[in-house]
Amino acid sequence: MSGARLRPEEILPKDAAALAASGGALIVDVRTRPEWDLVHIPGSVHVPLDELEARHDEIEPRPGQEVLVLCHHGRRSLVAALALRNIGRDELRTAKSIFGGIELWSREADPAVPRYERGPGVLRIVR
- pTM equals 0.95
In a domain, 56, yes or no: yes
In a domain, 4, yes or no: no
- Supply the range of the domain harboring residue 81: 10-125
In a domain, 34, yes or no: yes
In a domain, 47, yes or no: yes
pLDDT tens digits, one per residue of 38-82 = 999 999 999 999 999 999 999 999 999 999 999 999 999 999 999
Q: What is the pLDDT of residue 127?
A: 74
Is residue 95 within 8 Å of residue 43, measured between CB atoms?
no
Q: What is the pLDDT of residue 1?
A: 55
Residue 3's pLDDT band (cuts 50, 70, 90): low
CATH of the domain at 100: 3.40.250.10
Rounded distance between C-alpha atoms, residue 68 and residue 109, angstroms: 14
Which residues, other chains included, contact 111 with Cβ-Cβ below 8 Å and sequence gap of 6+?
none
Q: What is the pLDDT of residue 121?
A: 87
Q: How many CA atoms lie within 13 A of 124 on its CB side?
A: 5
Residue 5's pLDDT band (cuts 50, 70, 90): confident
Question: 124 by DSSP, 3-state: which?
Answer: strand
pLDDT tens digits, one per residue of 73-112 = 999 999 999 999 999 999 999 999 999 999 999 999 999 9
In a domain, 3, yes or no: no
